Amino acid sequence: MTLRCGLVGLPNSGKSTLFNALVSGTAAVASYPFCTIDPNVGIAAVPDPRLTRLHALFPTAGVVPATLEVVDIAGLVKGASQGEGLGNTFLSHIRNVDAILHVVRGFVNADIPHMYGDPDPLRDIELIEAELLLSDLEVLRKAVDRTAKRTRGADAAAQQELAQLQQWLAAAERGDVAALVSLNVGARAEKGEKSPPTPPRPEPPAVIRELQLLSILPVLYLLNVGEKPAPGQPEWEAGLAQLAQRRHARWLRFQGQLEAELTALPSDERAPFLAELGLSEPGLAAVVREAYALLGLISFFTAGDKEVRAWPLPAGSTALDAAGKIHSDLQRGFIRAEVVDFSTFVGCGSMAAVREKGLLRSEGRDYVIKDGDVLVIRFNV
């Protein structure tokens, strides 16, 4: 199953500019609201320097990076939960993503109007999150009413579900997004899962999961700044850092216009352009890597003379899952996985050398894949 990141933000926040830079797409970009109506979908390559090192060992091979699916969703406005702007359409689209990349305007440009006056990232985030919360509130109230009717027949399962729904509804009625997120993190802890800075894949109770609540989706806040810092930018960034901590979220700063200009250059001119700016890589590389982590993904590798490739896989997946990612035949006829970590493989220089030194491990179908594992799947169909 492909995991999707949804780009959201107020109109004129730089959302479609970022989308085009991420996927080299052609989403319309204009200085008026609702330039994007239908969601644009594209594929973003995940930068990984380990692929470059693998390619050095197999110079004739093709290189295939891991990828993310990115969806550019129409700009949201205040009142969307009551149908303002493209509200209902927006909300239906966002329910189909696994994580949110929330683009927030942090630049000043008189030629690009802001719907609500001067830029104020924390205010803009609050506007959007209030609309998501209002939508969730309606969903939760309806779920409580439905479940309450089932409890009249002394249905024990329904009573348990009702108690869970009422707890979540109480947090939503307080307007407390952080409390909803904390409930979600707590649900993961009860299942014995660790809670990293950002929960990669929220796992609330089944009755909550079925509701597809918007407020608890993993979030990466992206502050779109100009070439020159705007007045108040240090305060905005400090506020974003605090907000991200409360939300168990992540945040990054990027320059949308700069990234757009870089993407428009021929590939052989990009490195000199970055060097002039004193940068080692485009800012988008960090955006994609953070989005990848937000989805709880890791990479494993296959390497040979024909192809070196990074494969995205949810953390905690098994060797059998990895085999299926490569091809269904490998999963169906799985015998074993031959595994070596990336550093050992590169140090030895080839799989043959890894074998000669006795460093290749034979693992069964339940082996949990580690980030950077290099695999050979043995199978028979």
- Domain ranges, ordered by start, for the chain: 4-294, 316-379
What is the reported pLDDT for 233? 93
Topology adopted by domain 4-294:
Rossmann fold (3.40.50)
- What pLDDT sits at residue 323? 97
- Are domains 4-294 and 316-379 of this chain identical in fold? no
CA-to-CA distance for 224 and 237, rounded, in angstroms?
11
Q: Which two tokens stand for residue 209?
A: 């999961």
pLDDT computed for residue 175 by the predictor? 84
**Nearest-10 crossing angle of helices 121-151, 156-173:** 150
What the block records as the tokens of 219 is 């979030």
d(CA 180, CA 246): 11
Q: The domain 316-379: what is its CATH number?
A: 3.10.20.30
CB 308 within 8 A of CB 61: yes
Note down pLDDT in tens along the chain; length 381 residues: 567 888 888 888 888 888 888 887 433 333 333 333 446 788 888 889 999 999 999 998 999 999 888 888 765 555 444 544 444 556 777 778 889 999 999 988 877 777 777 889 999 999 888 888 888 898 999 999 999 988 876 778 888 899 999 999 998 898 888 888 888 765 554 544 444 444 444 467 788 888 888 888 999 999 999 888 888 899 999 999 999 998 889 999 999 888 888 888 888 888 898 898 888 888 888 888 888 888 889 999 999 999 999 999 999 999 999 999 999 999 999 999 999 999 999 999 999 999 999 999 999 999 999 999 999 999 998
The size of the chain, in residues, is 381
Given the DSSP bridges, would you call strands 67-72 and 62-64 parallel, antiparallel or unpaired? Answer: unpaired
Task: Please give the DSSP secondary-structure letter assigned to residue 318.
Answer: B
Q: What's 119's DSSP letter?
A: -
Q: Check residue 104 and give its pLDDT.
A: 93
User: What's the pLDDT at 85?
Assistant: 42
Residue among 363, 370, 360, 375 nearest 323 (CA): 375
pLDDT confidence of residue 15: 85
Which pLDDT value is given to residue 197? 41
pLDDT at 202: 45
Q: Are 313 and 322 in contact (CB under 8 A)?
A: yes
Task: Show the 3-state SS of 140-153.
Answer: HHHHHHHHHHHHCC
Long-range contacts of 228-235 (CB under 8 A, 24+ apart): 230/106, 230/107, 230/108, 230/119, 231/108, 233/106
Cα separation values, 375 from 179, 224, 314, 340, 380, Å:
41, 39, 16, 7, 16
Give pLDDT, residue 321: 97
Could you give the residue ranges of the DSSP H alpha helices within the chain? 15-23, 49-57, 87-94, 121-151, 156-173, 177-190, 206-209, 233-247, 256-264, 267-276, 283-294, 319-326, 328-332, 342-348, 351-356
